[in-house]
Amino acid sequence: MDNIGLIGMVSIIVSGFTIAIGSVGPALGEGRAAAQAMTAIAQQPDEANTITRTLFISLAMIESTAIYCFVVAMILIFVNPFWNFVTG
């Protein structure tokens, strides 16, 4: 197998692992945050608006980690810097 094929194969495998591992953590974090928010709303229903607003901000921050992993995977697949190094 030539070097370009090897780099392409490794890039696809690594991007798959990046998406797989990078999405498990945020999914667990979002589930835990939602569960804690529901518990807090059940204990203090008067503060539901504040808890919900904080929950949505927290979920957006947690989701950004998964989005960064997706961006890294897309860079590895489509704009891999190692291809220019091998062909140059």
Q: What is the pLDDT of residues 14-54, one digit of tens each?
A: 999 999 999 999 999 999 999 999 999 999 999 999 999 99
The residue among 8 and 32 whose pLDDT is bigger is: 32
CATH of the domain at 32: 1.20.20.10
- What's the mean per-residue pLDDT of the chain? 90
* Residue-number span of the structural domain to which 36 is assigned: 23-78
Residue 28 lies in a domain: yes
User: Around 63, how many Cα atoms within 13 Å sit in the side-chain half-sphere?
Assistant: 8
Residue with tokens 């062909």: 87
- Percentage of the chain modeled with pLDDT above 90: 70
Residue 1, pLDDT above cutoff 90: no
Q: Which sign, positive or negative, has the C-alpha torsion 81, 84, 86, 88?
A: negative
Q: What are the two backbone dihedrals, phi and then psi, of residue 82, each rounded to the nearest 5 degrees?
A: -75, -25
DSSP state of 47: G
If you average pLDDT over residues 3-12, what whole number do you get? 87
Residue 3 lies in a domain: no
The tally of domains found in the chain comes to 1
